[in-house]
Amino acid sequence: MASIDSVLQEHRVFPPSAETIARAAISGMAAYEALCKEAETDYAGYWARLAREHLLWKKPFTQSLDESNAPFYKWFEDGTLNVSFNCLDRNLENGNADKVALIFEADDGKVTRTTYRELHSLVCKFANGLKSRGIKKGDRVIIYMPMSVEGVAAMQACARIGATHSVVFGGFSAKSVQERVVDAGATAVITADEQCRGGKNIALKAVVDEAIAMGGCEAIHSVVVYKRTGNAIGMSAGRDVWLHDLLEGQSATCEPEWVGAEHPLFLLYTSGSTGKPKGVQHSSAGYLLHAILTNKWTFDLKPEDVYWCTADIGWVTGHTYIAYGPLACGATQIVFEGVPTYPDAGRFWRVIQDQKVSVFYTAPTAIRSLIKAAETTATAHPRNYDLTSLRLLGTVGEPINPEAWMWYYEQIGGSRCPVMDTFWQTETGGHVITPLPGVTPLVPGSCTLPFPGIAAAVVDESGHDVEWGKGGFLVIKRPWPSMIRTIWGDPERYRNSYFPGDLGGKLYLAGDGAVRDAKTGYFTIMGRIDDVLNVSGHRMGTMEIESALVSCTELVAEAAVVGRPDDLTGEAICAFVVLKGPRPTGDAAKAIVKKLQDWVAKEIGPIAKPKDIRFGDNLPKTRSGKIMRRLLRSLAKGEEITQDVSTLENPAILEQLKQSV
Ligand code: WT7
């Protein structure tokens, strides 16, 4: 693993500047250690203190952590609150009413500002509108929306009435929408006519119609449609309603639905080791607590900041670091509809310059592609822009290679801004291993140390700690407030995936390999240890893609999917396919590759398209019929096969599979 080697040889260290330490919420290593100590001495008490200090409760809780039904942990259970109240009403009461909450930057560059008062009123009308359609506490609502003020408001409106939302990324297919509607047992969908990305209009409502027509969605009684582009779409009388009509005449106040701390705020589907995406269920209080704490401690959000997280609300990052955390902290933030390369690859830098962004949070894949753009197109180089408003940078989603880290630090941050390499997952709700700006000396390529109170460790296959310097499984040893509560409808899968018996059944298994630096104990993430790929920071299950390929029954007999390293996207999807007909070559093979890529895009979404597809008469299998994936991984990388192939039934197949189309 080249990137791991380079991190292990990484000697560059960037201690926090005096200025950063002075302004930070947590200042200095001693303050960090004191928090860790507090958590260690009185774990439940530590989190209870923070939950009292940072959340507004309707009814205070009396018990912090309930472990009686482990691993189904409960936090602050007898307390009641409302997440939307904590994000919005809080800011009307503390002097932020006329502060800009959202700066919406549309794909075409048009900018709209929404104050906390305006957002509160929109969310209340939205919530009242949803209630008028009979949507109530506990109902599941699918949100399939573009990046927009209305998208954020839809999430907040659900939270306000206690409906559990499940946001589906706008790039996912009709099939993916339908599967999520069915699995979640949703009764309503909030969508838009179309979305605008990179100068193109892309259908959303038509995809929802197609999803519902696939069947199993009979429970959907309402489809709320935000008019984004105004192009013609079909509206089904009785079921479909325009958002502007729904809001018309609604009261601008809405008494929040006070819910228990454990009430499911949202489900978010993510990929695992099997073909079926899992609905990760999050709580209300514990989740929001960590969203607030990490925004305050990792990003050191202050009233004067202009904050920008470039994620989409379809991913967990867009939940914790757009729709909930920053609002609860009273921040002014950018909501960006477009793509980094439109109208040119200077877009991010221009937005930072024009909106005077001070805290910027993006993904390594975006950084890598913008490095490439800056090298090839002079006008896309960040040096053309005034980026002096920046004071802190963040990255998330995949390991960042030290070279990209250094470019980000120097070219974007002007060697002034600390880079927070935040490790976390859909399941963790918020950052779990991350530097803190006023505390942690930074080392490029390392996510450094656990967030105070998070018991992260690296263990071997029997669950014992490994020595620093040795690789192993990344685990979290104690439950924490923002952790996944269960997999919707499948508690056994929750237990088996995250608390496997091999490790003793008590440790949360993240699914990543990690190593701690022998001297500092800093964590470096080595990537997934399961059948999950990370393509441009998007999590894709190899089994999901295999299922999609073999569902093309007209062409495909068998398929195996593996990842291979890719300079731009981190990992690339590589599929080995056995067709029903003869193995194609030349243009015929190219045509089938294109057909299968389009097929997968239609089944899952364009992000799941295999980059490479290779054809064979068979796949490398053991005598018992098991596909030897490690050989496929070597083939995908273009490596010579040096591994033992003595158990291989059909060694001749390797020669065939070496040939790419
Ligand atoms: C997986 C989780 C958390 C929001 C975005 C992704 C990888 C995430 C880092 C990081 C190295 C990282 C891991 C993890 N990952 N952040 N800073 N360094 N790897 O959420 O889709 O649930 O994916 O992303 O492999 O398990 P997700």
Residue nearest atom 17 of ligand 1, based on CA coordinates: 423
Sign of CA dihedral 406, 409, 411, 414: negative
Q: Which of 103-117, 218-232, 364-378, 433-447 has the lowest mean pLDDT?
A: 364-378
Does residue 424 have its Cβ closer than 6 Å to ligand 1? yes
Which residues make beta-bridge pairs with 268? 280
Q: Which of 463-477, 559-573, 599-613, 641-655 has the lowest mean pLDDT?
A: 641-655
pLDDT of residue 5: 52
Q: Which residue has the tokens 């310059």?
A: 353
Would the pLDDT of 6 be above 60? no
Would the pLDDT of 36 be above 90? yes
pLDDT of residue 647: 83
Does residue 563 have its Cβ closer than 6 Å to ligand 1? no
CA-nearest of 390, 384, 349, 388 to 366 is 349
- Position 11: which residue type? H
Are the C-beta atoms of residues 240 and 225 closer than 8 Å to each other? Answer: yes
Residue nearest atom 27 of ligand 1, based on CA coordinates: 425
Are the C-beta atoms of residues 18 and 37 closer than 8 Å to each other? Answer: no
Q: Tell me the CA–centroid distance for residue 179 and ligand 1, in Å.
A: 24
Q: In the structure encoding, which two tokens stand for residue 322, read together?
A: 């757009």
Does residue 82 have its Cβ closer than 6 Å to ligand 1? no
pLDDT of residue 275: 75
Over residues 399-405, the mean pLDDT reads 93
Would the pLDDT of 2 be above 60? no
Calculate the average pLDDT of the chain.
Answer: 95
% of residues, the chain, pLDDT over 70: 99
Q: Which residues contact 22 (CB under 8 A, 6 or more apart)?
A: 438
Helix segments in 141-259, DSSP class H: 149-161, 174-184, 205-213, 243-247
pLDDT of residue 1: 39
Would the pLDDT of 542 be above 80? yes
User: Relative to the CA of 423, which ligand 1 atom is closest?
Assistant: 17
In this structure, the strands spanning 266-270 and 200-203 are unpaired
Over residues 599-609, the mean pLDDT reads 96
User: Relative to the CA of 539, which ligand 1 atom is closest?
Assistant: 21
C-alpha torsion angle, residues 230, 231, 236, 237 (rounded to 10): 50
Q: Which residue has the tokens 């309603």?
A: 241
Does residue 571 have its Cβ closer than 6 Å to ligand 1? no
CA-nearest of 530, 514, 432 to 465 is 514
Would the pLDDT of 641 be above 80? yes
Which residues make beta-bridge pairs with 14? 442
Over residues 280-298, the mean pLDDT reads 98
User: Relative to the CA of 399, which ligand 1 atom is closest?
Assistant: 11
Over residues 102-124, the mean pLDDT reads 98
Does residue 438 have its Cβ closer than 6 Å to ligand 1? no
- The structure's pTM equals 0.94
- Position 101: which residue type? A
Over residues 15-36, the mean pLDDT reads 97
- Position 412: which residue type? I
7 or 583: which leads in pLDDT: 583
Which DSSP symbol is given to 502?
G
Does residue 398 have its Cβ closer than 6 Å to ligand 1? yes
pLDDT of residue 8: 54
Q: Tell me the CA–centroid distance for residue 178 and ligand 1, in Å.
A: 26
pLDDT of residue 150: 98
User: Relative to the CA of 317, which ligand 1 atom is closest?
Assistant: 4
Q: Tell me the CA–centroid distance for residue 470 and ligand 1, in Å.
A: 21
User: Relative to the CA of 426, which ligand 1 atom is closest?
Assistant: 22
% of residues, the chain, pLDDT over 90: 92
CA-nearest of 149, 151, 175 to 165 is 151
Run of H or E including 293: helix 285-297
